[in-house]
Amino acid sequence: NAGVTQTPKFQVLKTGQSMTLQCAQDMNHEYMSWYRQDPGMGLRLIHYSVGAGITDQGEVPNGYNVSRSTTEDFPLRLLSAAPSQTSVYFCASSYSRGNNSPLHFGNGTRLTVT
């Protein structure tokens, strides 16, 4: 099993450009989520999904959209990139909707917005 796969690993965008960060998991996990990691601020939840067709906002959702058309995939869209979105993005999944399940993280996408 590949676990949680994120693409791309690195991306540079210009202000105003759009892009989609891809995330796929092959563990049949119900729960998927996106975090951003900034120095000194830990991991902050952007959006999450408890199953196909269901998404909800996390702590820092502004500027990001998500969809969950299948159990396996949970892409994160930046509609109009801003320098404040420069960060490392992690996708994570867990096997149940509850909060007792360990999160499995992807390898991350390092995004720079100029």
Partner 1 sequence: GQQVMQIPQYQHVQEGEDFTTYCNSSTTLSNIQWYKQRPGGHPVFLIQLVKSGEVKKQKRLTFQFGEAKKNSSLHITATQTTDVGTYFCAGTFGNEKLTFGTGTRLTIIP
Q: Which is nearer to partner 1, 14 or 100 (CB)?
A: 100
Q: Does 40 bind partner 1 (CB under 8 A)?
A: yes
CB 13 within 8 A of CB 81: yes
Q: CB of residue 16 vs partner 1: minimum separation in angstroms?
A: 29
Q: Which is nearer to partner 1, 70 or 107 (CB)?
A: 107
CB 42 within 8 A of CB 36: no
Q: In 3D, which of 37, 16, 18 has the Cα closest to residue 83?
A: 16
DSSP state of 53: T
Q: Does 34 bind partner 1 (CB under 8 A)?
A: no
Q: CB of residue 74 vs partner 1: minimum separation in angstroms?
A: 15
How far apart are alpha carbons 56 and 18 in whole angstroms?
21
Q: Binding to partner 1 (CB under 8 A): which residues in 74-113?
A: 90, 92, 98-100, 102-108
Q: Does 27 bind partner 1 (CB under 8 A)?
A: no
